[in-house]
Amino acid sequence: MKEPLSPTQAKATILIILTQGEVTFSGHADEEMAKDNLTDDDVLNVLRAGVVEPGEFERQSWRYRVRTARIYVVVAFRSELSLRVVTAWRKK
């Protein structure tokens, strides 16, 4: 996979991964989700319906922020069929 992906490409890849691939959660994501009472389903719904922002290169990988009106999720692609949720939070 050649990164950075455009927001449109990232969204299409996320939707494919949600139906055919693997979504994993970092320990940091689990901790931040617990602080804001977010469930895995909340995060998956944001990935399905949210708006993808342009990628940012951070900590040696491209990260993509996906947002809805109330929740933000940051993902990093591991392959065409795998992504990792890096962190997530509820907008205050």
**Burial of residue 90 (number of CB atoms within 10 Å: 0-12, 13-18, 19+):** middle
Mean pLDDT of all residues in 4-16:
98
Crossing angle, helix 40-49 and helix 27-35, to 10 degrees? Answer: 100
Domain boundaries, the chain: 7-90
Given this model, what pLDDT does residue 82 score? 98
Given this model, what pLDDT does residue 92 score? 83
For domain 7-90, give its CATH number from 1.10.3470, 3.30.730, 3.40.50, 3.30.2310.
3.30.2310
> Does the pLDDT of residue 2 top 90, yes or no?
yes
pTM above 0.75, yes or no: yes
Given this model, what pLDDT does residue 41 score? 98
Q: What is the pLDDT of residues 11-64, one digit of tens each?
A: 999 999 999 999 999 999 999 999 999 999 999 999 999 999 999 999 899 999
CA distance 16 to 1: 14
Given this model, what pLDDT does residue 34 score? 98
